[in-house]
Amino acid sequence: MKGLMTYKDYQLLLKGDLGKYYEGRWEYFKEVIEIIKNEKIKSVLEIGPAQEPIVKNCDVMVKPEDDMWGRPKNVFFQKEYLHNATEKPWPIKDKQYDLLIALQVWEHLDNKQSRAFREVMRVSKMAVLSFPYLWNCPKDSRNYPAHHMLDEELISDWILNIKPEKIIRIPRTGPEVSKGPRIIYFWKF
């Protein structure tokens, strides 16, 4: 198993230029880390990991265009796929990865979430996705509409009604809309 993000790593992110973005995220990061610790995982692909992936030295998939939220520091990943997750096929072999991670990414896939989820099932043996859950975003907020009132029915459509092995609910971590509840799904395919 490759190294995992630690609380110390997380605290350094809080001190960085996107510190405000990372506030409150440890609550779901630590849950994902616990899932990983309980599985036999050698190869990991993380989609849109922002500045640091959960699994150190994993492979990453990021948008080809500049994206301040989806570009990790070069020291924290192995292979980089410059590929939009909404376009298929992904440039990855069937079942190439033991685990795929996409945290707070799926709501940004431009109504092509189910298409991307088919690729998740094709390229990985397990997956962890997290979603904003029931955020009441004002229409003038940068969180609207992508994050607004996502519920389990919509998420179920996005994931082709494939029942996860585990669902974890994360309560609100701050007063801002972007610190609202989250939900984590874990599958074994």
| Angle, helix 7-15 to helix 26-37, in steps of 10 degrees | 150
Q: Please check whether residue 170 is in contact with residue 183, taking contact to mean a CB–CB distance below 8 angstroms.
A: yes
7-188 CATH: 3.40.50.150
pLDDT higher at 125 or 69: 125
Whole-number pLDDT of residue 163: 97
Nearest-CA neighbor of 182 among 171, 11, 174, 151? 171
Among the residues of the chain, which ranges form H helices? 7-15, 19-22, 26-37, 113-123, 152-158
pLDDT higher at 66 or 85: 85
pLDDT higher at 145 or 93: 93
pLDDT higher at 52 or 164: 164
The answer to whether residue 13 scores a pLDDT higher than 60 is: yes
Domain boundaries, the chain: 7-188
Whole-number pLDDT of residue 155: 98
Q: At 84, list the tokens.
A: 């939009």
Count of CA atoms in the C-beta half-sphere (13 A) of 180 = 16
Q: How far is CA 165 from CA 71, 97, 109, 185, in A?
A: 29, 18, 23, 8
- Taking residues 99-112, report their average pLDDT: 96
What three-state secondary structure class fits 37?
A: helix
Whole-number pLDDT of residue 141: 83
* CA pair distance 7, 26, nearest whole angstrom: 8
The mean predicted confidence, pLDDT, of the chain is 93
R_g of the chain computed on alpha carbons: 15
Q: At 82, list the tokens.
A: 């410059």
- Please tell me the least confidently modeled range out of 31-45, 59-73, 158-172: 59-73
The reply to whether omega before 145 is within 30° of 0 (cis) is yes
Whole-number pLDDT of residue 69: 65
* CA pair distance 44, 101, nearest whole angstrom: 8
The answer to whether residue 66 scores a pLDDT higher than 90 is: no
- State the pLDDT confidence band at 18, using cuts at 50, 70 and 90: confident
Per-residue pLDDT tens for 111-155? 999 999 999 999 999 999 999 999 999 888 888 899 999 999 999
Nearest-CA neighbor of 17 among 64, 47, 57, 51? 51
Whole-number pLDDT of residue 26: 97
Nearest-CA neighbor of 75 among 17, 127, 3? 3
- Taking residues 84-110, report their average pLDDT: 97
